[in-house]
Structure 1
Amino acid sequence: MNPVNNPFAPGAGSRPPELAGRQAIIDDARVAIERALLGKPSRSQMFLGLRGVGKTVLLNAVETMADEHGHLTSMIEAPENKPLGELLLPRVHQVLRKLSMTEAAKAKAYDGLRALRSFASAFKFDVAGVGIAVEPEAGVADSGDLQNDLPELFIRIGEAAKAAGKAWTLLIDEVQYLKQEDLAALIVSLHKISQRELPILFFGAGLPQVAALAGEAKSYAERLFHYPDVGALAEADAKAAIRQPVNDEGAVIEEEALTEIFLKTRGYPYFLQEWGHQSWNIAVGDTITLNDARQAETKTLKRLDEGFFKVRLDRLTGKEREYVVAMAQLGSGPYRSADVAEALHETVQSLGPRRAQIISKGMIYSPSHGDIAFTVPMFDDYLIRNRGNLG
């Protein structure tokens, strides 16, 4: 088949040609977006799942949908070493300036800009590149305590958006990298907005541990957020994610080939895209056969090993690699921390800091007390395949 027409282009956050199996999540987001414009509250949503399941794709889809419905939107990817307030500063400034263009919201937007100037001064954020050309408002968002100041700033944004007949949708990816104090302040801010029924929506995405992190930050987080589980696709949806794009290009794929791809990928979206990509390039004529899908395995695993998996492994130190290899050698997870310690001939206590560091790097998480699991699907298979080259 002509590689130029290949419908599959797997990449970080790239939208697949067929967004299969996620319609319920999209529909819930659409309802929340439309309700916000009517002044009706909806729970904030946090998409949780392993790496490569399409959380970022969903955030991008929600952002597009919010834009199409007239929301002002701000998308942030949380890094591991930058405070939330600094990330928000230019986005909030942009939103308030847009709101100030509406005559009915001019005064409220101006108040919001003054609060933002106070906020930036309190936390000593550099405003030179942002250009906030207003004087700060004393006593508003300037205490230097994020859990006090961020809610005041959000309220000002919400009031300006309401005056303009608009809504603001904030989207944050990689929520697990937010510091606990930043996550707590965000939760408090969203709680205040909910209480005042102001038109601000929040959609986040992160690894499975985010629900626990949010609960630790604020006990009422479980009532504030809806946590859609973004996991592997069911067989019918996984097959549709491959079949439909192939059909749209005027080609076909054998049912046996679809079954082979589903079984080998276990329905994980990124792996489906990679397998579909390689199968298309191997196929001759206008049909992807079972033999094509089987031949695609070598190239697919090579691409995954050299990209998707290796990028994550490279973040680990030698000792941390030793720990995750020991996990993989125990078989399929989740794994007991005590079993990993026994395999390494150490104690759970001595390995605690190493385990915590690997968790902080987003490589493993704790699904329940005493258990650990990989955040990357099929990472155990990768480690076993390549354990002789991981030194």
Structure 2
Amino acid sequence: MRINPFKPGSPVPVGMFAGRLNELDKLEHGFAQTRAGQPINFLVTGDRGIGKSSLLWFESAVARGKVESGDFGYFKFCVASTQISEKTDLVTFLKILQKEIAREVGKTEVVRKFLAETWDFLQRVKIMDSSIDRARKDSEEEIVISDFCHSLAETVARITQPGQGEDRREGLVIVIDEADNASAELRLGYLLKTITEALLRASCNHVCFIVAGLPDTFDKLRQSHESSVRIFDPLPIRELEIKDRRRVVELGMAEANKLNVAGKITIAEDAKEQIALLSEGYPHFIQQFAFSAFNAAKGSEITLDDVNSSAYSRGGAIETIGLKYYQSDFYDKIKSDEYRQVLKIMAARGNDWIKKSEIRAEFKGTEGRLSNAIQALTSRRIIQKDSAKDGVYRLQQRGFALWIQYFGDPKSAR
């Protein structure tokens, strides 16, 4: 049995990363600025499957000096990474960051002792009881944040100006992924603005924040503090270009031939092109289509038929992607069959633009219910409104349309 090199369920390994040259340039310029004491923070946003986590994985390796930057040589930062869930509270969030920093820099007994003393206060802080009144909770949180900022500034000073025999770092990169999950209680925008301002007052100028999440992360931050988004340079992540999609497949095939030394495995050009087209430029989707096609291939070459049969079959790539990315939008986010009826009408057009009047011609319901459905689907970002034309809409992705057509209705699944 052959080892499949494609990884649809996780960030791609550094050696299989392709494209994103503009985004890499911006982030690495930010690292250079931070190294020079002129830090830049970034807000990385994009749809699910667009490759945010893979980009962060790669750039974390660059920041640590594991991979050379094209224009700025090797960096040597400490990198602390965390993910946010709906249950993440302030104390847990700060403790995770502290532990990540300690893992990176606490290599010697002297440094571990320094960290234990510097962050001693945080070990004594308990999860704040939700039953205490808001004013008291706010007051306690302010004290915790203030102590955190002081300890963070001391730690960055230590790693940038280490003692004898200690490993010097150029600063600290803090990566916060899945920030769109942040609860209102966490007040993430307010927290990050407070921390960055406190570091500035402490003359701590070697910390770079990279916050990543779905497009509504921008609104989440702003809701907790109106001006919090101003501390970030926005970095929206869009679909990969065709040439970069092909490159992802080629890198995967090169890895396949390292893992499977018994015989060389190739992929036909039209098969590679079909994966590039079906994926719509979403790196996760490229990995899934390639993974399924690789498993379907019987001979030494992956053919166009392997790609198509493994994409459209039961349990294939489209259904798998749908279960991960589309099923929630189709069933969980909308409870009305009339809303799903609108999606099915639109899916027949792929993700081409369609007028409301064209939807109305096929819609079995009143004008009011159609308007409500379109408004709800638009507000939940399940469908997209044409900003240049009134009453024109489309599905966000062609893959969503394919999934609806083939697997969205179990009674009519092919």
TM-score, normalised by the number of residues in structure 2: 0.70
Q: Find the aligned partners of 1:106 and 1:30 in 2 and give their Cα distance.
A: 32
Could you say which residue in structure 2 is the equivalent of 1:289? Answer: 303
Size of the aligned set, in residue pairs, is 366
Contact 2:27 2:59 in 1 (8 A): yes
**Matching of residue 210 in structure 1 with residue 217 in structure 2:** yes
Q: Which residue pairs with 1:257 in the alignment?
A: 271
Tell me, in whole angstroms, the C-alpha distance in 2 between the residues paired with 1:390 and 1:215: 43
Q: Which residue of 2 aligns with 1:113?
A: 120
Aligned to 1:175: 179
Partner of residue 59, structure 2: 62
Q: Return the offset for 1:52.
A: 0.7
1:46: which partner in 2?
43
Aligned residues of 1:18 and 1:245 also touching (Cα < 8 A): yes
Q: 1:280 aligns with which of 286, 294, 299?
A: 294
Paired residue type of 1:32: G
Secondary structure at 1:227 match in 2: strand
Correspondences of 1:107-146 after superposition (within 5 Å): 110-114=117-121, 116=122, 120=125, 123=128, 143-146=139-142
Which of 322, 329, 336 is equivalent to 1:305? 322
1:4-153, aligned counterparts within 5 Å? 4=3, 6-15=4-13, 18-36=16-34, 38-68=35-65, 69-93=75-99, 95=101, 110-114=117-121, 116=122, 120=125, 123=128, 143-146=139-142, 149-150=144-145, 153=148
Provide closer, same or farther for how the CA distance between residues 53 and 328 of structure 1 changes in structure 2, counting only shifts above 3 A: farther
Unaligned segments of structure 2, at least 5 residues = 66-74, 131-136, 161-168, 258-263
Secondary structure of residue in 2 paired with 1:228: strand
Cα 1:20/1:32, change in 2 over 3 Å: same
Provide the residue aligned with 1:132 in structure 2. Answer: none
**SS, match of residue 45 in structure 1:** strand
Does the residue aligned with 1:75 lie in a helix, a strand or coil? strand
Segments of structure 1 that go 5 or more residues without pairing to the other structure are 126-140
Distance 1:170 1:286 in 2: 44
What is the DSSP-based 3-state SS (H/G/I as helix, E as strand, rest coil) of the residue aligned with 1:318? coil
Which amino acid letter does the alignment assign opposite residue 270 of structure 2?
E
SS of 2:55 mapped into structure 1: helix
Residue identity matched to 1:18: M
Query: Shift in Å at residue 239 of structure 1?
Result: 0.9
Deviation at 1:341, TM superposition (A): 11
Give the 3-state SS of the residue equivalent to 2:221 in structure 1: helix
> Where do 1:218-367 residues align within 5 Å?
218-248=225-255, 249=257, 250-298=264-312, 299-310=316-327, 315-316=332-333, 318-319=335-336, 323=339, 326-327=342-343, 329-330=345-346, 332=351, 345=366, 346=368, 359=380
Moved more, 273-282 or 27-36: 27-36
Deviation at 1:266, TM superposition (A): 1.7
Per the alignment, do residues 113 and 30 of structure 1 end up closer, same or farther by CA in structure 2, a change over 3 Å counting? farther
In the alignment, is the contact (CA less than 8 A) between 2:81 and 2:100 conserved in 1? no
Measured against aligned partners, the alpha-carbon deviations of 1:22-42 in whole angstroms (never above 9, x if no partner) come to: 233234334434543x45222
Cα deviation 1:50-87 (Å, max 9, x = unaligned):
11111112222233333445533332221123324322
| Amino acid in the other structure paired with 2:26 | D
Aligned twin of 2:406: 385
* Cα distance, 1:190–1:53 mapped onto 2, change above 3 Å: same
Partner SS for 1:58: helix
Change (3 A) 1:280 1:203: same
User: Secondary structure of 2:208's match?
Assistant: strand
Moved more, 329-338 or 250-259: 329-338
Taking a change above 3 Å as real, the CA distance of residues 145 and 210 of structure 1, as seen in their structure-2 partners, is same
2-structure distance, mates of 1:8, 1:236 = 18
Query: Which moved further from structure 2: 55-64 or 25-34?
Result: 25-34
1:200 to 207, 214, 224: 207
Note the C-alpha offset of 1:205: 1.3
Structure 1 stretch 247-256 or stretch 168-177: which is displaced more? 247-256
**Quick one: distance in 1 between partners of 2:370 and 2:192?**
34
Amino acid at match of 2:2: P
Aligned-partner Cα distance in 2 for 1:214–1:336: 34
SS of residue in 2 equivalent to 1:232: coil
- Aligned counterparts of 1:327 and 1:122: Cα–Cα separation in 2: 44
Aligned partners of 2:342 and 2:373 also within 8 Å? no
Q: Secondary structure at the match of 2:16?
A: coil
